[in-house]
Amino acid sequence: MVVNSYGAEQRALLESEAVAIFERATAQGRVVTDEVTDTDRPAFDLLVDLGLLMLDSSASAYVPVDPAIVQARVVGPLGQQGAQLIAEASEWSHSFEAISRTYRRVASSSHMLTELRGVDNINRFMDSALEDATRELLTAQPTIGRSAEALERAAQRDIRTVQRGVHMRTLYQHSARRSVFVQEYVERITTHGAQVRTLEEFFNRLIVVDRQLAVIPGADPQVAMAIREPSMVAYLADIFERYWERARAFDDRAETTRKIVAADVRNMTLRMLIEGHPDPASAKRMGVSTRTYAGYIAALKAEFGVQTRFQLGYALGQDQSRDLASEA
């Protein structure tokens, strides 16, 4: 009997047809070979092969065998084979980790710019890059586009990174303060020592690892660019630092901070109106939905006592004229 030959197909045959033959054999005490039909032959042969039917030469028939005896011979080796496969899979995983480290080490000196295609490939690359981080992790994350599932995955990964002693700083837009999912994420990672701030300005996603690797979005949403050229990485890290200096601590609950954040949002809304951006583009730049952005516009209309966008534009122009006159 070759145990390794048994799989899902043989198990399905056992359950669908062979069980009925075995039941008849048990009830009658035997099965005569000449009585087995061509239709039942595959199921009968399986029972014989498994050892559930054994030839009684004295009676020229097959008699049933206690399945408990056969089970140990069939299932036991399969379980052992499964354990061996799991162990082998673990060894393969370690081998790939080692060869991945070799690739990243060599690539860091020979591939200054690498294109990453596909969300899964990007996530795998980032997981590996963060596992290699030893000193610092800088991340700038626009509010729109990160689902609860993505934030949960990021939280687990980032907590592991911070627990290794990596200094992590993250930037969000002010609108992130409105998201319950972001609030939960921030609370989890800051508990472990990460720092999070928010800014009113729009910025693209940016990740800098140990000032040696930077990852930025590509032209396509499914593409990211990994940059290792030292001067470019330093330039991107400097951009992050400039944003960081102007940003507000996420966990600062002081009334003055809330007022400053509200003023920043108001000023950014005014800027979007003055620059003439369409509402969808303005909402995206502020990291909010078009509905929320419409609420900002409604608040400005109420503030200036007007009903229409045209009236609001005129009121803003008058306000700016008064400011210029007072400065003259």
CATH architecture of 113-251: 2-Layer Sandwich (3.30)
The answer to whether 264 and 197 have CB atoms below 8 angstroms apart is: no
Q: For the chain, how big is the Rg over CA atoms in Å?
A: 34
The answer to whether 176 and 143 have CB atoms below 8 angstroms apart is: yes
Residue type, 6: Y
Classified by CATH at the fold level, domain 257-327 comes out as Arc Repressor Mutant, subunit A (1.10.10)
Chunked into runs of 10 residues, the chain (328 residues) has average pLDDT values of: 64 88 87 86 90 82 84 76 81 71 58 85 86 92 74 90 94 84 90 91 88 92 90 95 91 69 79 82 78 84 82 73 55
- pLDDT for 136 equals 96
Q: DSSP string covering 280-327, please?
A: HHHHHHHTS-HHHHHHHHHHHHHHHT-SSHHHHHHHHHHHHHHHHHHH
The total number of residues written for the chain in this structure:
328
Q: List the beta bridge partners of residue 206.
A: 140
Cα separation, 173 vs 151, in Å, equals: 15
CATH 1.10.10, domain 1-110, yes or no: yes
- pLDDT for 105 equals 60
Residue type, 61: A
- Residue among 87, 57, 108, 83 at smallest CA distance from 229: 108
Chain position carrying tokens 């596992």? 131
Q: List the beta bridge partners of residue 55.
A: 62
Domain range summary for the chain, segments of one domain joined by +: 1-110, 113-251, 257-327
Do 1-110 and 257-327 show the same overall fold?
A: yes
pTM over 0.75: no
